[in-house]
Chain A
Amino acid sequence: MSDGEQPRAGNVVPETRLRENGKKAGGGNGDNSNDMDRRALFRVGVTAAMAVGSVALGLGLRTRDGHGKSKTLPKLKDHRVDKIQGAVEMAIVRGPDAAANVRRAVEAMGGMGRYVKRGERVVIKPNIGWNRLPEQAANTNPDVVAEVVKLVAAAGASKIWVTDVSVNTPEQCFARSGIEKAAKAAGATVVRPDAPAFREVDVQGKLLRTADILFPFVDADRVINVPVVKQHGLSGATMAMKNWYGMLGGQRVKLHQNIHLSIVDLASMIKPTLTIMDATRILLANGPTGGSLADVKQMDTIAVSSDEVALDAFGASLLGLLPTSLGFIVEGMKAGLGTPEWRNLKTEELGG
């Protein structure tokens, strides 16, 4: 090809003439036909590149069995802290000031520093399910949530999320429950359940295989459940374990077909660090939505434990229910999540 470069450097041939000469078969001189070769070579090269490229792209996108690529889903961490022999296992505090009750109960349980270490990331899960006011007792009391945020912040957490998947319109639930404002003022990051906030995780339950849950539950080092005590038509009651429904996006209404096992599957997956049960006001009827103040009973009680079955059993007694009559308590006990015999735990009761 080196001799083909010479005419360009030396004699300038007009472009039009070049083309004319090139068209004549064998009629042109050697230089022009060389130019023609190069162009042909270029075209062959482009065509070959397109052919190779499209075959490679197709093979790259091909799925082996026609079912798409398989993916490994993340599993949740174990959020619990080690048990200390002889330590208080459950604290029940009664008193007119909900925030003070939270402080005293957590103190009785060894202080928040036992559960949250400096620099850890913590998610706090109240019930923000319903478009209701605090006094209607359909959601966790905002003062309780704010106090938990403050205690976690004082323990040195580097990040505090407060989140829930509301059943009613999220922005209205977060606003009217008073929790968004109270939690923000106490220093938490409030995560609304918008579409990008969900991650698919491996549940490994008896009933549930995978679930879409809010990202803080995947990312956090510690998880604190802050449920409220309410009557519930299908499951009998909704308290600590049932509160984990609120991690879920997607079609969670299907879980009701076997509510007790799905409650236990979720509670087994999450393994929370601590549960702070709000029984400041409890909902005795028309739960879990409530709506009328006639359904609400003032109890001024906070109960704290890392045993959710025990807490649910205690909560059931507040609602006047026999704990072992509730399927999820029985199933939770069978799954090794805790004991409904909360009186057998080392319990500290204060006030009232």
Chain B
Amino acid sequence: MFLWLRRSYQAVFLIFFLFLVFASTSRFIRGYDVQWFLEIDPLVALTTALSSHTLHHALVWSLPLIVLTLVFGRFFCSWMCPMGVLHHLLGHLGRKRKVLQRVEQNSPRTSHNIKYAVLAVMVGLAAAGSVQIGLLDPIASTWRGLSVSVLPAASNTASGLYQGERHFQWGTLITIVFFGALALNFVYPRFYCRVLCPLGAFLGLLSKFSLFRISKDISRCNDCDVCGADCQGAADPMGTVRATECMVCLNCTKGCKRGGIAYRFLPALKLSKVETDLSRRKWLAAGLVGVASVPLARASDGVDPRPNPARIRPPGALDEPDFLGKCLKCGACMKVCPTGGLQPALAEAGLEGFWSPILIPRIGYCEHSCTLCGQVCPTGAITHLKVADKVGEMPAKPPVRLGSAFFDKGRCLPWGYNTECIVCEEVCPTSPKAIYFKVETITARDGTQKTLKFPYIDLDHCTGCGTCENRCPVVDRAGVRVSAANESRSPKSSVSLTGGKI
């Protein structure tokens, strides 16, 4: 009966997760808190709190999960985690037929300690100011995989019925990682959960203290080992149950005909093993690797010494060091961006910023009165702006700038080819328009006089939204392009002397 209860919970939470992913588009989002799963993720709260020394308000949702885990153990993995449900289902790919073979598959292995090392590295990185947990966190990975890879493929195939065409630069990497993690079930069931998942590792550590545990009544056990046949966490119910590995799937209780193994309140401590197999020395080493990695990486690229013009952050993004201390690279902003312009960075934001969001105006521009990316950001790496604050009201209040547009006069039709155009001026969304024109008469090649409109940019009014670059008829590299220079999140980026205040 409890197994069916678990399966119902798994189904409900998976469907709920898929619903939130689905609803996370400008057409359906309304005011839904679509990032609820990331907000209850205690590892997100822990790492961002370590890096930023604050807890973003929505992340207090993680506290109930911490409390529940302290009471019930690592139930999250087998009852709530959407990636856990997928792995639970796909675990059948590598599941052996015979009971004894399965018991063998579900035995503890040294490799299962790797997740603790991963956790230690991630926490170390966060302590040094760089949040990388989203690369491996199951919620962030699933959200990213679905929204940057699976859903766009489905929607594009169905002629964009769900949302407009979506393309993500090198989204193939995300596809490979996402499906690769699922395919690891061919090695043995729940390989990712047992070996790599840092959230599982963290919840496992909390489970050391859990009040309810799977425990074995040795007097009733005849060592048949059937309890291990479907153990999801490889928690060794055949021997001494490992509280850190047990995902409370309750499969062990199904096999036991003698009532020898059960989920009990406050079983004797000796009936379960609470220490991880990772030695204290390795714990420490992994943590130090994490802490040391940040200055080592920054000695190479740094955050700011050579800003990349393509590192155009979403509107409301924190200044770069703070942003890197909060962004999970979960892809929530990329999913919800109505133009599809927010893209996973490759090298544009340095090694640390891999897969963090950047605007690529040629793919999609920043919609003038849209602040959805800040609305869905679970950690506050992108602040949730009010539309009036984003748009500003010149001259009293400057707008939020992502950067500024610059003409490439050799590629601009009026400047380079003396051809009528100024589409950039037409679509420029600010009032007064940042792109304006002067009417000038020039002598054409055949000697005739030609009157043309030549576009110019007013730095004080340009928000760097990239609508001009997006709509420029020069199809590949546009004649007007946005660069991150003059972005308002960083005082150091300011180009104009007045900082845009008139």
Contacts and interface: CB of A to CB of B under 8 A. Distances in A.
Interface of A: 130-132, 167-172, 176, 194-196, 232-234, 251, 253-254, 256-259, 285-286, 288-292, 294-295
A348 B419 CA distance: 42
B372 to A, nearest CB: 10
A259 B473 contact: no
17 contacts: A167-B427, A168-B367, A169-B370, A172-B26, A194-B161, A195-B159, A233-B425, A233-B437, A234-B426, A253-B471, A256-B426, A257-B420, A286-B431, A289-B433, A291-B368, A292-B432, A295-B431
B416 to A, nearest CB: 13
Nearest to B161: A194
B156 to A, nearest CB: 9
Contacts of A131: 367-370, 429
B420 A234 contact: yes
B327 to A, nearest CB: 24
A252 B370 CA distance: 24
B160 interface: yes
Contacts of A167: 427, 471
A290 B422 CA distance: 16
A289 B427 CA distance: 7
Contacts of B475: 251
A233 B426 CA distance: 6
Contacts of B425: 233-234
Contacts of A171: 26-27, 338
Interface in B405-464: 413, 419-423, 425-433, 437, 453
Contacts, number: 94
B420 A172 contact: no
Given A169-B339, A233-B437, A295-B431, A253 B423 contact: yes
Given A131-B367, A253-B423, A292-B431, 7 more contacts: A169-B338, A169-B367, A172-B338, A233-B425, A234-B426, A253-B471, A289-B427
A130 B472 CA distance: 17
A168 B432 CA distance: 18
A296 B291 CA distance: 57
Nearest to A174: B27
A176 B426 contact: no
Contacts of B320: none
A196 B159 contact: yes
B319 interface: no
Given A253-B471, A291-B429, A233 B368 contact: no
Contacts of B367: 131, 168-169, 172
A109 to B, nearest CB: 32
B473 to A, nearest CB: 4
Contacts of A254: 473
Nearest to A197: B159
B259 interface: no
B33 interface: no
B301 interface: no
Nearest to A169: B338
B225 interface: no
Contacts of B339: 169
A169 B26 contact: yes
Interface in B349-386: 367-370
A93 B418 CA distance: 43
Contact of A289 (B161, B419, B428): B428
Nearest to A235: B426
B348 interface: no
A131 B430 CA distance: 12
A196 B367 CA distance: 24
Nearest to B413: A257
Contacts of A233: 422, 425-426, 433, 437, 453
A294 B161 CA distance: 38
A291 B453 CA distance: 22
A132 B387 CA distance: 12
Contact of A195 (B160, B368, B370, B391): B160
A135 B426 CA distance: 19
A-B pairs with lowest CB-CB distance, top 10: A291-B431, A292-B431, A169-B338, A286-B431, A196-B159, A253-B473, A253-B423, A195-B160, A195-B159, A171-B27
Contacts of B27: 171
A257 B26 contact: no
B465 to A, nearest CB: 11
B155 to A, nearest CB: 10
A234 to B, nearest CB: 5
Nearest to A193: B164
B420 A289 contact: no
Contacts of A234: 420-423, 425-426, 453
Nearest to A288: B426
Interface in B45-77: none
A120 to B, nearest CB: 28
Interface in B137-193: 159-161, 164-165
Contacts of B420: 234, 256-259
Interface string B117-137: 000000000000000000000
Nearest to B436: A233
Nearest to A287: B426
Give the one of A176, A195, A256, A294 with max B CB within 10 A. A256
Contacts of A294: 431
A291 B430 contact: yes
A350 B453 CA distance: 39
Contact of B160 (A132, A172, A194, A258): A194
Contacts of A176: 369
Nearest to A286: B431
A196 B161 contact: yes
Contacts of B472: 253
A256 B429 contact: no
B453 A256 contact: no
Contacts of B165: 195
A184 B430 CA distance: 30
Contacts of A289: 426-429, 431, 433
Contacts of B432: 285-286, 292
A84 B420 CA distance: 41
Contacts of B437: 233
A256 B423 contact: yes
